[in-house]
Amino acid sequence: NMSPTRLCVPGDKLCSVEDCIMGTGVYLRHGYIYSSLAGYVLRKNEGEELPVISVVRETEVQLLPDVGAIVTCKVGWKPGRRGPLTDLFRGTISFVQVEMHRSFRPGDIVLAKVISLGDVQSNYLLTTAENELGVVVAHSDAAQMVPISWCEMQCPQTHTKEFRKVARVQPEYLEA
Amino acid sequence: MAGLELLSDQGYRLDGRKATELRKVQARMGVFAQADGSAYLEQGNTKALAVVYGPHEIRGSRSRALHDRAVINCQYSMATFSTAERKRRPHGDRKSTEMSLHLKQTFEAAVLTELYPRSQIDIYVKILQSDGGNYSVCVNAATLAVIDAGIPMRDYVCACTVGFVDETSLADLCYAEESGGVSSLALALLPRGGQIALVQMDARLHQDHLDTLIEAAMTACKGVSKVLDQVVRQHLQEASTLQE
């Protein structure tokens, strides 16, 4: 996962030409590398001796999820389709092993993994077929529901149970 | 002659500012979704709107294309309601053409045009309200618009119009001061490197005062650059939080 580091503006001195190789969005002057765009500084090690330094604007492609990336998404409202999700970008859960209405409801927050980037027509293809993937947050009509097993969640106020494919979240990520 | 004193004995100007004080600068980036880059900037009562398109293929005559870099095409115009008396000819008059040329020269110094051979970058600036320092406000607005468009530049381009009166340099002139017999000079600066992109003056000034005036202009430009920097950083922050 790439988290962009610091903001920079045109004319910011980033580093010396001896520390990094120039990527995009930068220029060279008197032995130093300066930013030529307003955006985020990105340092990537690409197998060469020195890392490549570039400046990207927030809408750049580098920040799109790749195959194998785990994304957090919200289930959208499109009945009759294969449970499309919206991330920042739209995706579709492939539900070969899973029954839609017993796994997700619209409005759920789900951890999914990207299995295909899709092409021009289709969206990202996502899967929740692992233990750590699935619903993380779900709301009933009253309140936020609590997981009681890998396939059920319960509302603490009305005590109604609903079927969900629950993600097994690592203990350190759970709030105290 | 009572009344309009450009600089009072206590050191106050017509609008209550001190000699080195800039007018209040307020700006917003990304005001138009359709253009590649846009910005709106107010400096005191002077208001300007800048819109940038490009880089894209050369429109019109291919012969104007440069084989190794981009052509920068600027157009300066004033809204008919921008001045006290309705302007009859908003663009195409000599002043506008001269301004457009100055803007072009200014941005050719800052934009990394070598990255886009055989293409064209269009910068359109319109003055919505004119209260002095038109060229400088246009440059500042256009800088923000070019940054908004993601076109690479060496540095910000910051400009300020300064004048000399009573042995003092006045920074950021308003219209009353410009037309009140002050020798005015406009300077566009790349603040980080201290490089001057353009100097323009068509008044009369004794050469002994030139250095002082240019110094005052450079200091004023650096002040403007701080404000523009804040605007850009805030815009970046807002854009990134919207994405999350």
Residues on chain A touching B193 (C-beta within 8 angstroms): 11, 29
Is residue B63 a part of any domain in this protein?
A: yes
Containing domain of residue B136, as a range? 25-242
- Residues in contact with B116: Cβ distance below 8 Å, sequence separation at least 6, in sequence order: B54, B55, B69, B70
What CATH number corresponds to the domain at position B223? 3.30.230.70
What is the predicted pLDDT for the residue at A132? 83
What is the predicted pLDDT for the residue at A162? 85
| Facing residue for A38 by CB, picked from B147, B154, B192 | B147
What is the predicted pLDDT for the residue at A128? 79
What is the predicted pLDDT for the residue at A11? 94
Residues on chain B touching A37 (C-beta within 8 angstroms): 147, 150, 152
Test A34 with B191 for CB contact under 8 angstroms: no
What is the predicted pLDDT for the residue at A86? 46
For chain B positions 191-210, those within 8 Å of chain A (CB to CB) are 191-193
Tens-place pLDDT, residues B170-200: 999 999 999 888 889 999 999 998 999 999 9
Q: What is the mean pLDDT of residues B208-227?
A: 95
Is residue A118 a part of any domain in this protein?
A: yes
Number of inter-chain CB pairs under 8 A, A vs B: 53
For the complex shown, is ipTM > 0.90?
no
For residue A101, pLDDT beyond 50: yes
Residues A153 and A80 in one domain: yes
Residues A130 and A159 in one domain: yes
Cα B76 to Cα B83, B131, B141: the distances in Å are: 15, 16, 12
What is the predicted pLDDT for the residue at A76? 63
Cα B237 to Cα A37, B26, B79, B126, B154: the distances in Å are: 15, 17, 32, 27, 22
Residues A127 and A42 in one domain: no
Q: Is A146 left (phi over 0), alpha (psi -120 to 50) or beta?
A: beta
The Cα A35–Cα B90 span in angstroms is 37
Residues A43 and A103 in one domain: no
Q: Which residue has the higher pLDDT, B116 or B157?
A: B157
The Cα B215–Cα B226 span in angstroms is 17
Chain A residues within 8 A (CB-CB) of chain B?
A: 7, 9-13, 25, 27, 29, 34, 36-39, 57-58, 88
Q: What is the mean pLDDT of residues A140-166?
A: 84
Q: Calculate what percentage of chain A has a pLDDT beyond 90.
A: 16
Containing domain of residue A28, as a range? 6-56
What is the predicted pLDDT for the residue at A100? 63
Residues A102 and A163 in one domain: yes
Q: How many domains does chain A have?
A: 2
Residue B153: closest CA among B193, B199, B124: B193
Test B154 with A57 for CB contact under 8 angstroms: no
Tens-place pLDDT, residues B30-82: 999 899 999 999 999 999 999 999 888 887 777 788 888 899 999 999 999 99
Residues A84 and A121 in one domain: yes
Q: Is B18 on the interface with A (CB under 8 A)?
A: no
DSSP state letters, B86-141: --S-SSSSHHHHHHHHHHHHHHHHHB-GGGSTTEEEEEEEEEEE-SS-HHHHHHHH
Amino acid at B82: S
Q: What is the mean pLDDT of residues B206-212?
A: 92
Residues on chain B touching A9 (C-beta within 8 angstroms): 147, 156, 229, 232-233
Test B152 with A29 for CB contact under 8 angstroms: no
What CATH number corresponds to the domain at position A125? 2.40.50.140
Q: How many domains does chain B have?
A: 1
Test A11 with B154 for CB contact under 8 angstroms: yes
Q: Is A44 helix (H, G, I), strand (E, B) or coil?
A: strand
Residues A50 and A93 in one domain: no
Q: What is the mean pLDDT of chain B?
A: 90
What is the predicted pLDDT for the residue at A66? 62
For residue A87, pLDDT beyond 60: no
- Token pair belonging to B73: 């095409």
The Cα A82–Cα A78 span in angstroms is 8
The Cα A85–Cα A90 span in angstroms is 6
Residue A72: closest CA among A58, A95, A89: A89
Residues A29 and A83 in one domain: no
Amino acid at B235: H
- Residues in contact with A82: Cβ distance below 8 Å, sequence separation at least 6, in sequence order: A92, A93, A94, A95, A100
| Facing residue for A58 by CB, picked from B152, B193, B243 | B243
For residue B169, pLDDT beyond 90: yes
Residues A97 and A152 in one domain: yes
Q: What is the mean pLDDT of chain A?
A: 74
Is residue B102 a part of any domain in this protein?
A: yes
Tens-place pLDDT, residues B113-150: 998 888 899 999 999 999 999 999 999 999 999 999 99
The Cα B116–Cα B165 span in angstroms is 44
Tens-place pLDDT, residues B222-241: 999 999 999 999 999 888 77
The total of other beta-carbon atoms located within 10 Å of residue A63's CB is 16
Neighbour-count burial for B215-243, b at 16+ CB within 10 Å, e otherwise: ebbbbbbebbbebbbebbeebbeebeeee
Q: Is A124 helix (H, G, I), strand (E, B) or coil?
A: strand
For residue B88, pLDDT beyond 80: no
